[in-house]
Structures are given as structure tokens and as C-alpha cells.
Amino acid sequence: MPRPHDPEALVAALRTGDRGALARALSVVEQGGPPAVDIGRLAWPLGGQAYTVGLTGAPGAGKSTLTNAIVGLARRAGDEIAVVAVDPSSPFTGGAILGDRVRMQDHALDPGVFIRSMASRGHLGGLALATPQAVRVLDAAGFPWVILETVGVGQVEVEVAGAADTTVVVVNPGWGDSIQANKAGLLEIADVFVINKADRPGADEARSDLRTMLELSELGPDDWTPPILLTAATTGEGVAEVWRAVTEHRTWLEDGGGLAVRRQRRLREEIRAIVAHVLQSRAFAMVGAANLDELVDEVEARRLDPYRAAERIIGDD
Ligand SMILES: Nc1nc2c(ncn2[C@@H]2O[C@H](COP(=O)(O)OP(=O)(O)OP(=O)(O)O)[C@@H](O)[C@H]2O)c(=O)[nH]1
Ligand SMILES: [Mg+2]
């Protein structure tokens, strides 16, 4: 019997389609620390086939309902698909995990669909570091499509959503919603715009708001122009067009070399983030090992300045 959290056994098992092993590997990744790094390391050489789609927007915009409908389309096309719903544990999304289960339950019994909610647990670099690892694990498990659902409220969430190959930004009808999305930095990362809940009044106004903002962003002739699509995710109306736009964007990226550029940029950022994370942990350890109280007394008495105190801790003194 393999130990339940032995990284090598877990990664070997998830390769064989063992969903229990996959779920455990994702839990390890979510908790972070050295076992998470081991899983990421073992999964890395096995991946490279998955295409990631980020779905982001304000709380309650209909991201999970839309995801549920998209999952149905992918399955009808014969593709397996995984969904990671990232819960930033902010007060905005209380109950999101339960809500996701309800909204995506159409596929609860389908072995070709894997749905997972992930929380940041508030540790350093949490979400930003854990999400690419989770995608890597799903990639190693053989999923050709991975959807990342995030609430686009803060910088970290926007970063996570932007870490996908194609990013879909979901807004709702009504005055000001797209302006809020713009403020949150969502417009810059959008490859496809969706105005969901288009069964409600105000969808056309939202569309012209978005068009105006896109015009102001001065796209060049070689740039991708994000389409603006209307959906009613609850009935499935317009969702096929969203999925088509995603696949068209994918083709555009693949044919024009943009996909490799995006992925390289992401890897560069990830490596940078890992370095920062490791050095910060080392810094905390150094401060922990130093006699900080004594140094503070010295600084307070003006026998030492704060820079000198820091140098002593670092060992540069
Ligand atoms: N009228 C209408 N309601 C919708 C539509 N899509 C979703 N809803 C409803 O909006 C509510 C929120 O939907 P979710 O799919 O959970 O939204 P979400 O963006 O995933 O929410 P969080 O993950 O909590 O941020 C639910 O009650 C849905 O039934 C739509 O197209 N029209
Ligand atoms: Mg949701």
C-alpha cells in the first residue's frame, strides 16, 4: 500500500486515472510546503498538453453557471475537462464552495469531469503559487482542458485569472458593471467578454460600454480583438458562442506563436515569484534566529541605526 501522501505514489496513481489520488495530490498542493513542491516537480515533466481557460468576474456574475454549461459542451465534443474554482476566502464569496457544487452538479457523476474548489488558506504567496501547481497536476492527470474560475476582485485574483491561456471576463447588464470590471483591471486581461444574465435589461448598454472602453485601449492591427458576447447561462443561451470564441482565440494564439510567448512570460513570473517566496522565508528565519529584542533596544537608544541592525541580522555587518 502506498502511503497516502507519498508524492511519487500519488503522481503515479493520478496518471492511471485514479481520481482519489488526484484529489489528494491537489490537497497537498493546496497546503503548500515541501510536499507541494515535490508534487509540482514530479508533475512538471508529465504535462504540457492541457489548455487553460480563466473565467473571472464579480461575485455572483454567473461564472459557475457558465462553467457548468461550458463543461456540458466540452463533454458533448468528447473532451475531458477539469474545473478549479479558486476561492480567495474573502468576505465577498462566503459560501462560494457550496454554491459551486450546486451550480456544477450536472456533471457530478461524470468521470470525465473533475471539479475542485481551492482556498488560499491565507499563507504567504498562497493562491498565486498554488494555482499553477494545481493546473500542473491536472495537466499531468491528462485533462486536455482546465477551467480556472476566480472572483475578479483583487490583484491576486486578477493575476490568477490572467495566468490562463485564454481569459474570459464575465460582467452583468446594468450601468457601471463594466466600469467596475475596468477598475479591477479585468479589461486588460480579457480575451473574450461575456455579458451574462442577458435575459435581464441593460445588456445592450453594457455592450456599448465595453465597446467604448475597448476602442479607448487602442488595439493594434495585429492584436486580438476580444469579442463581446451575450449569454443567459441559466438557459444555456449564447454559451456555444462563448466556447467557440475560446477555441478561436486558442487557434489564433497557436498559429501566431502567441501561446508560447504567453506561457514563457508566465513561467518567468512564476520563477520570479518562487525566488521571492524562498528568500522571504529565509529572511523570516534569519529574523527569528536573531536576538531582535536586543537589537531593538540598541536602535532605540540610538547606538545603532535600523539599517545596521538589519545588516547584523543578515550577516553583512
Ligand atoms: N437571470 C439569470 N440568472 C443567472 C444567470 N446566470 C447565473 N444566474 C444566477 O446568478 C446566481 C449566481 O450564479 P453563480 O453561477 O453562482 O455565479 P458565480 O459568479 O459563480 O458566483 P461566485 O462564485 O459566488 O462569485 C445564481 O443564482 C444563478 O442562478 C443568467 O444568465 N440569468
Ligand atoms: Mg462561482
Tens digit of each residue's pLDDT (9 = 90 or more) over 149-196:
988 777 767 777 777 999 999 999 986 777 887 877 888 889 999 999
R_g (Cα) of the chain, nearest Å: 22
- Say whether pLDDT at 123 is over 50: no
Q: Which residues surround ligand 2, an ion (CB under 5 A)?
A: 63-64, 100
Which whole number is the average pLDDT over 264-283?
90
Contact 96 CB / ligand 1 (< 6 Å): yes
Instruction: Please determine, for residue 78, whether its predicted confidence score (pLDDT) is greater than 70.
Output: yes
Which residue from 55, 56, 65, 150 has its CB within 8 A of the most atoms of ligand 1, so it is best to mutate?
A: 65
Nearest atom within ligand 1 for CA of residue 151: 25
The pLDDT score that the predictor gives to residue 254 is 97
- Averaged pLDDT of the chain: 87
Q: Report the atom number in ligand 1 closest to the C-alpha of 59.
A: 25
Percentage of the chain modeled with pLDDT above 70: 88
Strands, sheet with 192-196, edge to edge from the N-terminal-most edge strand: 113-119, 81-87, 145-151, 51-57, 166-171, 192-196, 228-231
pLDDT digits (tens, 9 = 90+) for 11-54: 999 999 999 999 999 989 888 888 999 999 999 999 999 999 99
pLDDT at 316: 75
pLDDT band at 259 (very low <50, low <70, confident <90, very high): very high
Write out the E strands in 41-190.
51-57, 81-87, 113-119, 145-151, 166-171
Residue 233 Cα to ligand 1 middle (Å): 8
Here the cell at position 89 is 476566502
161 close to 150: Cβ distance less than 8 angstroms: yes
Q: Is the CB of 107 under 6 A from ligand 1?
A: no
What pLDDT, on the 0 to 100 scale, is given for residue 101? 56
pLDDT confidence of 93, banded at 50, 70, 90? very low
Which residues, in sequence order, are bridge partners of residue 231?
Answer: 196
Q: Give the atom of ligand 1 at the shortest distance from the alpha carbon of 200.
A: 1
Q: Which atom of ligand 1 is nearest to the CA of 66?
A: 15
So what's the pLDDT on residue 282? 94
**Does ligand 1 lie within 6 Å of residue 62's CB atom?**
yes
Which residues are CB-contacts of 137 (< 8 A; sequence separation ≥ 6)?
Answer: 14, 22, 25, 26, 29, 39, 40, 43
pLDDT > 90 fraction of the chain, expressed in percent and rounded: 62
The band of 62, judged by pLDDT with boundaries at 50, 70 and 90, is very high
Q: Picking from 69-78, 211-220, 226-235, 250-259, which range would have the lowest pLDDT averaged per residue?
A: 211-220
Q: Whose CA is nearest to atom 21 of ligand 1?
A: 60
Does ligand 1 have an atom closer than 6 angstroms to the CB of 236?
no
Report residue 249's pLDDT band, with 50, 70 and 90 as the boundaries: very high
Task: Give pLDDT, residue 288.
Answer: 93
Q: What is the mean pLDDT of residues 105-132?
A: 74
Q: Which has the minimum average pLDDT: 66-75, 76-85, 96-105, 233-242? A: 96-105
Does the structure show a pLDDT above 90 at 217?
Answer: no
Question: What is the residue type of 74?
Answer: A
| The pLDDT of residue 127 | 67
What pLDDT, on the 0 to 100 scale, is given for residue 108?
75
- Looking at residue 221, its pLDDT comes to 84
